[in-house]
Amino acid sequence: MGYASRVDEVAGAIADPVRRRILLMLRDGERSAGDVAAQFAISRPAVSRHLRVLREAGLVTDQVVGRQRVYRLEPGPLLALAGWLGGFVPASKWEPRLAALDTEVRRARRDRRAQREEDTG
């Protein structure tokens, strides 16, 4: 599957608010199909169709565990979409944010060093 078709498939899969909510739930960890379905006021077959769309887009995987089907988030396909979307944000918008992150990383390292010196000194 080409880059453009992968982006289209992932974008289509996350276009539905129910599927986005399922992805958010799975971001926090694996969940059984029953656990996922219990969070919605729609029928279990409707939730199953949403899970199938996410699975076909490669955004989730499923595994049978005992009598349950357990779903897990696969964030990899979102990278293609994120890369495509990133082309719309000028790099100059990120530079101040990256500089601030660099400052925080350096401050945290300095604080850890100072704490170690206090602990050993």
pLDDT of residue 93: 74
> Is residue 35 scored above 90 in pLDDT?
yes
Q: Are residues 27 and 62 in the same domain?
A: yes
Q: Are residues 17 and 72 in the same domain?
A: yes
Q: Are residues 95 and 73 in the same domain?
A: no
Residue 24 covered by a domain: yes
Q: Are residues 18 and 71 in the same domain?
A: yes
Contact 23, 73 (CB under 8 A): yes
Answer whether 0.95 is exceeded by the pTM: no
Q: Which of 87, 96, 29, 19 is nearest to 59 (CA)?
A: 19
Contact 69, 63 (CB under 8 A): yes
- Sorted by sequence, the CB contacts under 8 Å of residue 69 that are 6+ apart come out as 32, 33, 62, 63
Residue 37 covered by a domain: yes
- Sorted by sequence, the CB contacts under 8 Å of residue 78 that are 6+ apart come out as 10, 59
Q: What is the mean pLDDT of residues 6-28?
A: 95
Q: Are residues 47 and 96 in the same domain?
A: no
Q: Are residues 73 and 94 in the same domain?
A: no
Q: Are residues 70 and 116 in the same domain?
A: no
Residue 85 covered by a domain: no
CATH value at residue 13: 1.10.10.10
Residue 83 covered by a domain: no
pLDDT tens digits for range 43-85: 999 999 999 999 999 999 999 999 999 999 999 999 888 888 8
* Three-class secondary structure assignment of the chain: CCHHHHHHHHHHHHCCHHHHHHHHHHHCCCEEHHHHHCCCCCCHHHHHHHHHHHHHCCCEEEEEECCEEEEEECCHHHHHHHHHHHCCCCHHHHHHHHHHHHHHHHHHHHHHHHHHHHHHC
Containing domain of residue 113, as a range?
90-120
Q: What is the mean pLDDT of the chain?
A: 90
Could you give the number of structural domains in the chain? 2
Q: Are residues 107 and 68 in the same domain?
A: no
Q: Are residues 64 and 105 in the same domain?
A: no
